[in-house]
């Protein structure tokens, strides 16, 4: 869910004007690029955080999008707490709400509470290698891969001190591992590389190399599919699947219905959406295979206003509301929705006040909290769709809200106090 500030209402309508669909097409397409405030047209990654913000990593800068406007982050050589490098390749959110980034010069971590970036330190000194991919396991540990034969444990609990684990030593392999991608599934880390897929056990640092029936030369993505299934996307090969139980890699047969099977058209990413459909991204190309195996195309012939299947696409993400976000090579972000109203506008209505703005807000699975000069307000997340009437926590001028931990929030007014659900407040000593 994206919670937005009312003062940007006109910009919201400007974005809707870019949205295009016809009565004959089930989807609306919206383009968001530099004209709308994006820092660069080349989009490498698009995750959504727990508060609903969309983070867009580009070839020149990081962007936080709230549905109305962008907040941009760049490297500043005079600020040690700024972004490490402007080329942002991948991102993931840890269990504490921190955002971890892969950049062209290594890893860094963004704290939403302090709104600053922390560099990652290694025992052998600062690491400026290209960071390729990153993920979080179910224990909250952050893992990354770079352009070396290592997997990296990124630890925020010990002054951001990272630890290299040499995969070639564990596997007894001296060949270089190119273009690695990483994900966590079924208790293991899975590293998709030019040699195949490496299953790494983080509990005992053991690894198994799973050989493929074909040669992967340019891995692009490793994605979760159905239970016990991972999709392997290689630029120069068709899409394959890995069974995480049997460790068998085989061709994904459903892709045979794709009309564009030109081997020169590289695969870039896949996305299994909430309806069980598979979105397939190419260089160029966009197709959708439904859960029942039917092919859907997005072009003028299908009734759309342009040939969206000719876009050069890099990555895909589905947000909490079911919208599909596509990162492109030179057209910014494309948002695909089954509704014309891609974003929801929520203002505060309470005790005689109507359509109040929010100067700060926090969103999680249970609560929506907002604040402004009239106080701090809250509402259950599940009730947002049916009503915008909020309950007051305090009537004092409130400058900021922040989430401290699950179901506990910090409220900054004349004094600082914490608010928990069910509603309880207590003063905090400064």
- Say what the pLDDT of residue 356 is: 75
Mean pLDDT of the chain: 85
> Residue 429 pLDDT more than 60?
no
Report the chain's C-alpha Rg in angstroms. Answer: 23
Mean pLDDT calculated for residue range 183-208: 95
Name the helix (H) or strand (E) containing 316: strand 313-318
pLDDT bin (cut points 50, 70, 90) of residue 164 is: confident
Full-model pTM: 0.78
| Other beta carbons less than 10 A from residue 429's beta carbon | 5
Distance CA 84, CA 4 (A): 28
Percent of the chain at pLDDT > 90 equals 54
- Percent with pLDDT over 70 in the chain: 82
pLDDT of residue 7: 30
Local structure of residue 202 (DSSP, 8 states): T
Architecture of domain 6-337: 7 Propeller (2.130)
State in Å, rounded, how far the first CA of the chain is from the last one.
33
User: Element (H or E) spanning 232, and its range?
Assistant: strand 229-234
pLDDT of 1 > 50? The answer is no
* pLDDT above 80 for 279: yes
Average pLDDT over residues 155-175: 78
Determine how many CB atoms are found less than 10 A away from the CB of residue 343: 24
Least confident of 43-47, 288-292, 383-387: 383-387
pLDDT in tens, 167-188: 888 888 778 887 899 999 999 9
Q: For 178, list phi and psi in degrees, rounded to 5.
A: -95, 150
pLDDT in tens, 32-69: 999 999 999 999 999 999 989 999 999 999 999 988 88
- pLDDT at position 2 over 60: no
For residues 325 and 332, what is the distance between their CA atoms, to the nearest angstrom? 10
Using the predicted structure, report yes or no on whether residue 157 has a pLDDT greater than 90: no
Do 72 and 61 meet the contact criterion of CB atoms below 8 Å apart?
A: yes
Contact indicator for 67, 373 with CB cutoff of 8 Å: no
Q: What is the C-alpha to C-alpha distance for residues 57 and 101, in angstroms, rounded to an integer?
A: 9
> Averaged over 189-217, what is the pLDDT?
94
236 and 218 in contact (C-beta within 8 Å)?
A: yes
Domain positions in the chain are 6-337, 348-427
Q: What is the DSSP string of 322-339?
A: S-EEEEESSS-EEEEESS
């Amino acid at each position: 869910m994206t919670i937005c500030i009312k003062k940007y209402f006109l910009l919201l309508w400007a974005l809707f004007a870019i949205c295009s669909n016809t009565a004959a097409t089930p989807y609306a397409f919206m383009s968001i690029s530099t004209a709308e405030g994006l820092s660069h047209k080349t989009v490498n990654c698009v995750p959504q955080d727990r508060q609903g913000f969309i983070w867009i990593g580009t070839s020149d800068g990081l962007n936080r999008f709230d549905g109305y406007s962008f907040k941009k982050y760049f490297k500043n050589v005079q600020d040690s707490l700024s972004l490490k490098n402007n080329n942002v390749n991948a991102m993931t959110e840890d269990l504490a709400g921190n955002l971890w980034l892969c950049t062209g010069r290594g890893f860094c971590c963004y704290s939403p509470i302090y709104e600053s970036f922390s560099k990652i330190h290694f025992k052998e000194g600062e690491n400026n290698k290209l960071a390729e991919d990153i993920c979080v396991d179910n224990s909250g540990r952050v893992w990354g891969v770079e352009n070396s034969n290592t997997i990296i444990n990124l630890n925020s609990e010990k002054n951001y001190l990272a630890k290299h684990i040499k995969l070639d030593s564990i596997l007894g392999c001296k060949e270089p591992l190119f273009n690695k991608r990483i994900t966590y599934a079924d208790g293991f880390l899975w590293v998709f590389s030019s040699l195949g897929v490496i299953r790494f056990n983080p509990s005992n640092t053991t690894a198994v190399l799973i050989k493929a029936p074909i040669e992967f030369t340019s891995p692009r993505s490793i994605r979760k599919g159905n239970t016990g299934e991972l999709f392997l996307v290689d630029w120069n090969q068709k899409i394959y699947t890995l069974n995480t139980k049997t460790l068998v890699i085989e061709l994904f047969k459903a892709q045979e219905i794709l009309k564009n099977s030109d081997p020169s058209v590289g695969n870039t990413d896949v996305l299994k959406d909430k309806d069980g459909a598979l979105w397939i991204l190419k260089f160029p190309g966009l197709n959708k295979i439904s859960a029942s195996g039917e092919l859907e195309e997005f072009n003028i012939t299908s009734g759309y206003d342009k040939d969206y299947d000719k876009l050069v696409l890099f990555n895909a993400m589905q947000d909490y509301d079911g919208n599909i976000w596509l990162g492109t090579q030179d057209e910014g972000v494309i948002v695909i929705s089954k509704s014309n109203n891609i974003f929801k506008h929520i203002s505060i209505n309470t005790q005689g006040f109507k359509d109040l703005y929010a100067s700060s807000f926090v969103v999680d699975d249970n609560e929506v909290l907002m604040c402004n000069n009239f106080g701090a307000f809250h509402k259950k997340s599940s009730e947002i769709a049916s009503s915008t009437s909020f309950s007051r926590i305090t009537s004092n001028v409130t400058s900021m809200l922040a989430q401290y931990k699950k179901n506990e929030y910090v409220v900054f007014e004349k004094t600082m106090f914490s608010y928990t659900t069910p509603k309880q407040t207590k003063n905090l000593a400064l």
